[in-house]
Amino acid sequence: MKARWIITAVSAALFFGGSLLTSLRDPWFQGLRRPDWLTFEFLIPFIWIFIWICTTMSAILVWERSSKRFRPWLLMGMYAAIAILTSAYSPIVVEFRSLIGGMIVGGLATVLVYILAFLVKPISQTASWLFLPYALWGPIGTYLTWVLIQLNF
C-alpha cells in the first residue's frame, strides 16, 4: 500500500477519532459565555478541516520527498503528536470540563507546528508552507480558549 494512503488513513482516524470521543456541541460547552467578537464560530469546523488537509498533505510530501535510505520517522512522530494533541482538545475541554487543559494542548500543538515547519523546510518548502493555516489559526484558537476561561471562571 502506498505511504500516502497510510498517512491519509491515520490522519483521518485521528481527526474523526477526536470528534467521535466527544463533541463541542455538548450542552456545558455551548452554555459557556463567549466574546462578542466571536461571530464566526460556525466556520471553525471548516477551518479545522482545511488545516487538517493541509497538515496531511505536508506529511505526505515530507515522506515522499525524503530519501529511501533515510525515512523521517521522527518527523512523522511529530506530525502524529500534533494530530493527537489537536484531537485531544475536545475531549479534554468537554469530558474533563477543562478549558485550561484545552488551552495547554492547543498551545503545545501550535508550538510543535512551528518547530516542525522549520524542520521540514529542507525536505520540502511546500510542506513547510502547508503549516501556515495551522500556524495562523493555532494562536487564535489558543487565545479564544484563554478568553473563554476569563469569561467563565
7-27 confidence digits (pLDDT tens) = 999 998 888 876 666 778 899
Amino acid 22: pLDDT: 74
Q: What is this structure's pTM? A: 0.92
Distance of alpha carbon 115 from alpha carbon 147, whole angstroms: 25
Residue 145: is its pLDDT beyond 70?
yes
Q: What percent of the chain has pLDDT over 70?
A: 97
On whether the CB atoms of residues 56 and 8 are closer than 8 A, the answer is yes
Task: State the average pLDDT over residues 59-87.
Answer: 91
Residue 1: is its pLDDT beyond 70?
no
Distance of alpha carbon 92 from alpha carbon 85, whole angstroms: 10
